Amino acid sequence: MERVLILLTTTVMLFMATGVQAMLSFANNKEVNITRTGCGVTKLCVETPDNCDPTGNSSCLFGSVTAGTPMPPNGVNMSFELSGNSSGYIALGLTLNETMGINMLFICGQNGSDMFFFQAVSKNGTSEMFEVLNRDVMEIRGTVNGDMIQCEFNVPGLNATNTRSFHATTFIVILGHGNVIGGSPGPLRVALTTNPLNLADPASNVNTTSMPPTGGAGRPHLSHAGLLLLSILTLGVLKTV
């Protein structure tokens, strides 16, 4: 009785602060397939438990980031993967200070039975309240298979330079999950908080002497023609296989 739902972008969504949304989307059968291939080499991987493999394993909460070329002052385009187990949602967060600052959260979840949704929100420090994150997210793709949720998305123009001590691509990465309550994501339960990591360096959290980070390794696939910008928020569903 497993059902697989697939959401694919090329979706355009307008989200207004009032909560009114206009959504245009169409489905595509490309299934999300997240693996450890490239971890530490072309993509930065974070996961809990340590070194777990998301391939077919729902007990692995896994995220990856691939950063593009910095385009000062417009920041860096980054593409993300997120995989984990939840009857509600899983989330990847970026912050400079988890307790004192604004946390950006990218949420992939299921609403009701197997309806994939994506949201980009922010929360202020330890507050449990989510607010709309005013940021474009593109190429959102998601799959729900039972409690296993996998998704991919691209975020253009990230820049962490709020403080002089941080490089523009240095963020603390958070992985977590939570329930969906009354159709909305409930409080985040944090499962992993990393040290500040340079997201442009796939090996920044790996002990290695054999593979020095080489500049420019790994570019996100952000430049497909015909990509449509999303002005975030909730996506509906797609397709039942």
* Contact positions vs ligand NAG (CB under 6 A): 33, 35, 37, 49, 52, 57-60, 68-77, 85-87, 97, 99-100, 111-112, 117, 124-125, 147, 156, 159, 161, 168, 183-184, 205-207, 222-223, 234
Least separation in angstroms between CB 51 and ligand NAG: 7
Work out whether strand 148-158 and strand 12-15 pair parallel, antiparallel, or are unpaired: unpaired
Least separation in angstroms between CB 131 and ligand NAG: 8
Least separation in angstroms between CB 105 and ligand NAG: 13
For 153, the 3-state DSSP assignment is strand
Contact indicator for 121, 131 with CB cutoff of 8 Å: yes
**Nearest CB to ligand NAG, comparing residues 26 and 168:** 168
In which region does residue 228 sit, left (phi positive, over 0), alpha (psi from -120 to 50) or beta (all else)?
beta
Give dist(CA 220, CA 32) in Å, integer: 16
Token output for 135: 């940021």
Give dist(CA 110, CA 6) in Å, integer: 11
Least separation in angstroms between CB 133 and ligand NAG: 12
**Nearest CB to ligand NAG, comparing residues 100 and 241:** 100
**Nearest CB to ligand NAG, comparing residues 117 and 153:** 117
Least separation in angstroms between CB 100 and ligand NAG: 4
Strand partners, 58: none
**Nearest CB to ligand NAG, comparing residues 27 and 222:** 222
Least separation in angstroms between CB 146 and ligand NAG: 8
Q: What is the DSSP letter of 49?
A: S
**Nearest CB to ligand NAG, comparing residues 26 and 46:** 46
**Nearest CB to ligand NAG, comparing residues 74 and 214:** 74
Least separation in angstroms between CB 72 and ligand NAG: 3
Amino acid letter, 13: M
Neighbours of 29 (CB within 10 A): 9
**Nearest CB to ligand NAG, comparing residues 28 and 159:** 159
Give dist(CA 140, CA 81) in Å, integer: 10
Give dist(CA 206, CA 217) in Å, integer: 15
Report CA Rg, the chain.
Answer: 17
